[in-house]
Structure 1
Amino acid sequence: MGRPKLNNSTSTITLISRRCTRRLGTRMWRRGANLEGDTANFIETEQLLEYDGFKSSFLQVRGSIPLLWEQIVDLSYKPCLSIIEHEDTPMIVKRHFHDLIQRYGSTIAVDLTDKHGNEGQLSLAYATEMEKLADVRYVSFDFHQRCGGSNFDSLKLLYNEIADDFEKQGYFLQTTEGELVEEQKGIIRSNCIDCLDRTNVTQSYLARISLDQQLQRMCALTSSEHICTFTEDEDLEIFRNLWVNQGDEISLEYSGTNALKGDIVRYGKQTFSGLIKDGISALSRYYLNNFQDGIRQDAIDLISGNYTVSGNSPSPFQLNKFESRTLFPVASVLLIGSLTVTSITLNRGGQGVISSVICAGATAGMMALVKANGRQICSRPRLCGLL
């Protein structure tokens, strides 16, 4: 919640994000949709504004691409995406968007994924299914290519594509007398791969545009004024900080770290300190996704009731002879030992050339063996399947 001042009147801006409980989980173990059309990391975000007796709000949603797909961790920094072929895929997509239309009205699906590599294949599959839905508008916007990683203002290109529908959907507005004068008639559904970083930047941009429109309607701004130019720097900072903090909270629950690209939301550009923070968060995500999230996923499934304990069935934790938490330390010790021995033999100079070659070969072989068995070494959930 923030309290910027406009025209010497205090306004209150509040962000509320509501997470859907139908497909809860962690970043790598809950991807895409289930057979009922529920998607991972599906969140409804409401931006509330109170000013001079007026009350308004603007809703957006985010959610994983509503196809059957997975991205199983295997020690790779970016595991390969795999689309699960299923005869019910068209029905799954239809169920998902039918639910959105029933709840929110007209729907615009904004896809922020890359258009090359594995992401491109998934995006193409998504676009292909969306062509079958006549009542949903699908907009593909390659965030990385169009924004160049740091050019926040390029999101205006996206807004220009959806401006007419955006204004038709509108927002909720109630006067000081309690009269309802505007009602939001639709929703924008945004997604990238994780529905975290690119999605948060995009949603904050659209929320700022809607905030301008609401304040203009309340006569706090003229039709030519905008919050980013009209308010004091500290007031605009309040708005930006709300979206940064909200993005961090959503990301912590799903990936275990703060959101990336937070400095773009906060400052409108990528900064050097932001790049360092993003690098640290990316490395933390790698470790957590590979070696912690399997256990965390089991905890979520157990607490949420997705998995029901049965006294008549053996524990899923006893069905596998080896656990990843046992294999990982062993593999680490072997690799570190091999690298240490290689380093020692290299320091001996000419006397240890043959030994160095042998140790280096053994180390390379050990690394290949660990990589080949990456899925067995990584932490994986035991209680529930991916779907």
Structure 2
Amino acid sequence: MWRRGANLEGATANFVETEQLVEYEDLTSSFIQLRGSIPLLWEQIVDLSYKPRLSIIEHEETHKVVQRHFHDLSQRYGKIIVADLTDKRGDEGDLSNAFAAEMDRIPGVRYIHFDFHHVCRGGNFDNLQALYNQIEEAIHKQGYFLMNTKGEILLEQSGVVRSNCIDCLDRTNVTQSFLARKSLDSQLQLMGALLSSESISLSDNIHDTFKKLWVEHGDELSLEYAGSYALKGDLVRYGRQTLPGLIKDGMSALSRYYLNNFHDGVRQDALDLISGYYTVSQGSSSPFHNGVDSSSYLPVASAIIVGGITATTFTLSQVGRNAQHLISSIICAGLTVGVVALVKANGKQFCSRPRLCGLI
């Protein structure tokens, strides 16, 4: 949560190259996709709310940041197709509109917005066909890599699809698995494993293995970036939401909430230190000794809130026996509401924050 968007060099907070490899007889083929944070300068500061607000950072270098990012991708991968899966409403919509405006100024890169939550609402995974229809011709032109056992390169991939949502995890993984299945059908058809009219969906064994791999892939990336399993895994595995899947998603969402608010600051400091982004200087004081750690007061505040709710409930149950309990209930309820309001108003101060490096 503490690293969003891009830095001034154009490197994004979350960026992953995924290569899907398949071998059949004397042929080996691969298909590469990218996922990466929206390469603007933006932040999403945790504040105890379930979905913290997104804020775009106004900076004179913004356009150059986007240019640097896509220049680097074009140099490494060739033609780029950007699939932006964010919502068109609220904070996400503002960020998406800003991204679209910048992409209009980037030549040679095709940008497509696809509101995943709107188009695929109700867990209808197959609606991703609408996105595929828009980019099918371009994906076929980009192709995939194909090599024989002699090491002779028969085909090369000339471009990639770069997908993103906000955190580039759940929606992105579902979308990438859909595109990967389309490519795998084409690869196996060319390699002679399938007829031109066939698909891996006709083979339960192959299709189940494919879906399992992509579910596990999504989980691994989510554990690395967010500390919990990926959401929407059912859409990849079954093409629809199931009750056990909804329960699992709920548990993962709660886990993410806890980690984002109370652990990510320390984890970010560890990454900054290990990666060398922060350099220890003997002449300077430790950043961990500066100021008061407000998060240490959260357990006390939580205990007061729980105690206040308990006391309010108990005294209300006794009102019928003694009218004085009503006054006690009002006092307990008022105290509880006051503490809740205090915590909410200062939510950012109670969360785990990185101390070694700034956000940009």
Q: TM-score category by the smaller chain? A: over 0.9
Moved over 3 A (4+): none
**C-alpha offsets along residues 77-127 of structure 1, whole Å, 9 cap, x if unaligned?**
111110001111111001000000000000001000000011001000000
Residue 79 (structure 1) aligned with residue 52 (structure 2): yes
Q: Secondary structure at the match of 2:80?
A: strand
Partner of 2:191: 218
Partner of 1:94: 67
Partner of 1:227: 200
Higher mean displacement: 53-62 or 329-338: 329-338
Offset at residue 340 of structure 1 (A): 2.2
Give the TM-score normalised by the residue count of structure 2: 0.97
Partner of 1:327: 297
- Map 1:355-366 to 2 at 5 A: 355-366=328-339
Query: Aligned partners of 1:93 and 1:178: how far apart in 2?
Result: 37
Q: Secondary structure at the match of 1:46?
A: strand
Offset at residue 336 of structure 1 (A): 1.7
Residue 349 (structure 1) aligned with residue 322 (structure 2): no
Query: Aligned partners of 2:199 and 2:334: how far apart in 1?
Result: 63
Q: Secondary structure at the match of 2:18?
A: strand
Unaligned runs of 5+ in 1: 1-27
Unaligned runs of 5+ in 2: none
Matched-pair identity in %:
66
Give the TM-score normalised by the residue count of structure 1: 0.91
Partner of 1:310: 281
- Out of 3, 19, 24, which is 1:46 matched to? 19
Q: Secondary structure at the match of 2:174?
A: helix
- Map 1:72-221 to 2 at 5 A: 72-221=45-194
Offset at residue 178 of structure 1 (A): 3.0
Residue 272 (structure 1) aligned with residue 246 (structure 2): no
Residue 67 (structure 1) aligned with residue 40 (structure 2): yes
Residue 255 (structure 1) aligned with residue 226 (structure 2): yes
Partner of 1:373: 346
Query: Aligned partners of 1:218 and 1:322: how far apart in 2?
Result: 60
**C-alpha offsets along residues 241-298 of structure 1, whole Å, 9 cap, x if unaligned?**
1110011000001111000001110111111111111011111111110011111111
Query: Aligned partners of 2:339 and 2:286: how far apart in 1?
Result: 32
Q: CA RMSD in A?
A: 1.0
- Map 1:279-298 to 2 at 5 A: 279-298=250-269
Q: Secondary structure at the match of 1:349?
A: coil
Query: Aligned partners of 1:203 and 1:131: how far apart in 2?
Result: 24
Offset at residue 330 of structure 1 (A): 1.8
Query: Aligned partners of 1:162 and 1:300: how far apart in 2?
Result: 37
Q: Secondary structure at the match of 2:357?
A: coil
